[in-house]
Chains A and B, each alone.
Chain A
Amino acid sequence: MTAHPAGPVAAPAAAAPRFEPSLMRRKLAGTVFLGVCLLAVGLLLLTLAVLLWDILSRGVPWLDAQFLTSGPSRRAARAGVLPALVGSIEIALLVALITFPVGVAAAIYLEEYATDGRINRLLRTNISNLAGVPSIVYGIFGLALFVRGLGLGFTLLAGALTLSLLILPVVIIASMEALRAVPHAQREAAFALGGSRWQVVRGSVLPAAAPGILTGIILAMARAIGETAPLILVGAVTFVTFLPNPIASGYTVLPIQIFQWAGDPREDFQSLAAAAITVLLVLMFVLNALAIVIRARLSRHLTW
């Protein structure tokens, strides 16, 4: 206490001159920063608006029955997206069909069964790291494993399997979150009734987690529908005039079709690309809306 023997150290009158809070300047800095914030957010929203306007203003006029019911053509006026649209829907359904059982099973194992901390942690770390692998690397893997290794060739099935591997971490993580959200009491109640682990999971936990899991899968489908790069590697081709058969060679999907048209500098083909993008966005929008509805519907019956 050498600095101030007994004197009124905190006597504000004596201390005041040594502080120059310059409140005006500090407040101004805050205001300026808030302005910067609004500018950044505004710029983002502006970008989104310009992007949507650029696409819709070009694409919507081209959307007609003819566009939705024909295949690609060398003449823009006669071109359409039907094979690509059907290909996208088929591939999305296949992906859902494959990832649903596997993804949910993996999530159940990790959340409800795995007891060994080390193995559990390894599996979880691995899954989160898989989610960070570039999609094109999955394409390379799909090419080596499904197309060549398993001899599936350049088929829609090979494409769906490749996308399934890509989407699986997303489905697993979403399902794990849904399972984790089920209150512990729910499990204990079922165990107390003498249920085995599987009976508890199937009869009690899964139904409660169903809305979350379903939502996760639908959102994953939306993501799969937009993927392009891996499908280029596993042989989705750009000029398909027929509707795809999952195990026969030759299929296309919307993003691939968009990619091809977008790369064509002729004005009409740019518009075709914009129109196909509109279809793709509508499809994704429908899936997202579906996810929201399902979450709202199912969780209404299961409130706690």
Chain B
Amino acid sequence: MTAAPASFTRRTPVRERLVEAFLALSAAIGILTTVGIVAVLVFEAVEFFREVPLLEYLTGTVWSASIKPFRFGVLPLVTGTLLVAGLALLIAIPLGLVSGIYLAEYASPRIRTVLKPLLELIAGIPTVVLGFFAINFISPILLKSLVPGIGGFSVLAGGIVVGILVTPLIASLSEDALRAVPRSLREGAFAMGATKFEVVRRVVVPAALSGIMASIILAMSRAVGETMAVVLAVGANPQLTLDIRESVQTMTAFIVQISLGDTPAGSLQFKALFAVGATLFLMTLALNLLSDRVVARFRNRY
């Protein structure tokens, strides 16, 4: 190895090395956080599953964490969560998709500059505020008059507010996907004598389908992990039901319930919090990874 002549070498000053180390460490915090979250959840959940068999947890249909006899069958929490999230998507998919199509294809630039911030405004509403809206307006005023026999807490009320919450997400992500469809495809379809609606429905939307699917999956993940709006709207009644007029308990609501009470650390209920947290984490992780995959497929397309 020949050494470079001294005039061309420069020792990196210690200060710059320190700076670089700090930068690298900061970039690694994300990884550390991920590792930390997984470690905490696994560690505490293992403690829980020492006392409650995994099979019983996964297949049990009764969840009773605070009233004896204690039962830890997670199915009521999972179905409650999925019921609320499913209902939310039922509202958010048509509403968000149609709004996204309108923004991407129909709205004039002038209307867009007004509409987009308004959608962002909805997306930025703190979820506790939507929870208040649910118990103060949707349940007592809107639903009471429309749905007979509905209580103050219901899956329906939760589904509606969570739907409001994730609609802007679907709208803006599918708008992005639609806008990413090359102009040349639109022109090609117009040049065949297609009407605007035909161009949108038969060419642009199918071409953006993966992006739209990804936005829906992300919305699902968001809805599953949503907490405050659900706690306030759906209540805390862990029961296995498909009746959307009933109050249920979601996984997130259970976690909130345990941490609000004076549950001593180390008790079974406290450990259950981590087990449910791990379940929730796995569900949302699976959805996020799925959405990444769908988006990756979309990118390779053009």
- Asked if A258 is an interface residue, CB under 8 A from chain B, the answer is yes
Q: Which residues of A contact B255 (CB under 8 A)?
A: 136, 139-140, 233
In-complex Cβ contact of B122 among A48, A114, A126 (8 A): A48
Contact with B along A136-169 (1 / 0, CB 8 A): 1111110111001000000000000000010011
**Is B27 a contact partner of A123 (Cβ separation < 8 A)?**
yes
Given contacts A37-B98, A102-B29, contact A280 B23 (CB under 8 A): no
The main secondary structure of chain A at its interface with chain B is: helix
In-complex Cβ contact of B195 among A27, A122, A148 (8 A): A27
**Is B260 a contact partner of A113 (Cβ separation < 8 A)?**
no
With both beta carbons as reference points, the residue of chain A lying nearest to B97 in the complex is identified as: A40
Interface size on B, residues (CB 8 A): 84
Q: Which residues of A contact B280 (CB under 8 A)?
A: 134, 136-137
**Is A38 a contact partner of B102 (Cβ separation < 8 A)?**
yes
Interface residues of B in 38-72 (CB under 8 A from A): 40-41, 44
Q: How far is the CB of A28 from chain B (nearest CB, A)?
A: 10
Given contacts A55-B133, A114-B27, contact A40 B94 (CB under 8 A): yes
Q: How far is the CB of A104 from chain B (nearest CB, A)?
A: 8
C-alpha spacing A127/B26, complex, angstroms: 12
- Asked if B126 is an interface residue, CB under 8 A from chain A, the answer is yes
C-alpha spacing A284/B120, complex, angstroms: 13
Contact with A along B188-217 (1 / 0, CB 8 A): 000001011110110000000000000000
C-alpha spacing A226/B125, complex, angstroms: 8
Given contacts A130-B33, A262-B131, contact A109 B26 (CB under 8 A): yes
Given contacts A37-B99, A51-B133, A55-B132, contact A134 B225 (CB under 8 A): yes
Which candidate, A75-83, A241-249, A269-277, is the interface stretch facing chain B? Answer: A269-277
Q: How far is the CB of B22 from chain A (nearest CB, A)?
A: 6
Q: Which residues of B contact A262 (CB under 8 A)?
A: 128, 131-132, 135-136, 232
Interface residues of B in 109-163 (CB under 8 A from A): 115, 118-119, 121-122, 124-133, 135-137, 152
Q: How far is the CB of A138 from chain B (nearest CB, A)?
A: 8
Q: How far is the CB of A253 from chain B (nearest CB, A)?
A: 10
Q: Which residues of A contact B228 (CB under 8 A)?
A: 228-229, 255, 259
**Is B124 a contact partner of A222 (Cβ separation < 8 A)?**
yes
C-alpha spacing A135/B126, complex, angstroms: 12
Given contacts A54-B133, A126-B30, A140-B41, contact A40 B95 (CB under 8 A): yes
**Is A132 a contact partner of B284 (Cβ separation < 8 A)?**
yes
- Asked if A129 is an interface residue, CB under 8 A from chain B, the answer is yes
- Asked if A133 is an interface residue, CB under 8 A from chain B, the answer is yes
Q: Which residues of B contact A135 (CB under 8 A)?
A: 225, 227
C-alpha spacing A256/B191, complex, angstroms: 57
Please report the number of residue pairs spanning A and B whose Cβ atoms sit closer than 8 angstroms: 229
**Is A105 a contact partner of B99 (Cβ separation < 8 A)?**
no
C-alpha spacing A288/B123, complex, angstroms: 14
C-alpha spacing A222/B16, complex, angstroms: 34
Given contacts A102-B29, A136-B227, contact A130 B133 (CB under 8 A): no
- Asked if A73 is an interface residue, CB under 8 A from chain B, the answer is no
The main secondary structure of chain B at its interface with chain A is: helix
**Is A126 a contact partner of B20 (Cβ separation < 8 A)?**
no
C-alpha spacing A108/B27, complex, angstroms: 9
**Is B106 a contact partner of A37 (Cβ separation < 8 A)?**
yes
With both beta carbons as reference points, the residue of chain B lying nearest to A280 in the complex is identified as: B126
Contact with B along A196-210 (1 / 0, CB 8 A): 111000000000000
Interface residues of A in 68-120 (CB under 8 A from B): 101-103, 105-106, 108-110, 113-114
Given contacts A36-B98, A54-B137, A255-B128, contact A196 B12 (CB under 8 A): yes
Interface residues of B in 3-41 (CB under 8 A from A): 10, 12, 16, 19-20, 22-31, 33-34, 36-37, 40-41
Q: How far is the CB of B50 from chain A (nearest CB, A)?
A: 17
C-alpha spacing A284/B33, complex, angstroms: 27
**Is A228 a contact partner of B227 (Cβ separation < 8 A)?**
yes
- Asked if A44 is an interface residue, CB under 8 A from chain B, the answer is yes
C-alpha spacing A145/B252, complex, angstroms: 20
- Asked if B259 is an interface residue, CB under 8 A from chain A, the answer is yes
Of listed A29, A41, A110, A288, residue having the most chain B CB within 10 A: A41
**Is B256 a contact partner of A33 (Cβ separation < 8 A)?**
no
Q: Which residues of B contact A127 (CB under 8 A)?
A: 30
With both beta carbons as reference points, the residue of chain A lying nearest to B117 in the complex is identified as: A288
**Is B95 a contact partner of A227 (Cβ separation < 8 A)?**
no
- Asked if A21 is an interface residue, CB under 8 A from chain B, the answer is yes
With both beta carbons as reference points, the residue of chain A lying nearest to B12 in the complex is identified as: A196
Given contacts A134-B252, A259-B131, contact A106 B40 (CB under 8 A): no
Q: How far is the CB of A290 from chain B (nearest CB, A)?
A: 15
Given contacts A137-B225, A141-B37, A262-B232, contact A44 B259 (CB under 8 A): no
Q: B residues within 8 Å of A by Cβ? A: 10, 12, 16, 19-20, 22-31, 33-34, 36-37, 40-41, 44, 94-95, 98-99, 101-102, 106, 115, 118-119, 121-122, 124-133, 135-137, 152, 164, 167-168, 193, 195-198, 200-201, 218, 221, 224-228, 231-232, 252, 255-256, 259-260, 265, 273-274, 277, 280-281, 284-285, 287-289, 292
Sample of 9 more A-B contacts, CB < 8 Å, known A44-B118, A109-B27: A55-B129, A136-B227, A137-B225, A140-B274, A144-B40, A172-B30, A196-B12, A226-B128, A229-B252
22 A-B pairs, CB-CB below 8 angstroms? A29-B195, A37-B99, A40-B94, A41-B99, A51-B125, A106-B27, A127-B30, A132-B221, A133-B281, A133-B285, A134-B280, A135-B225, A136-B252, A137-B37, A137-B284, A144-B44, A226-B127, A228-B228, A229-B227, A233-B255, A258-B132, A259-B128
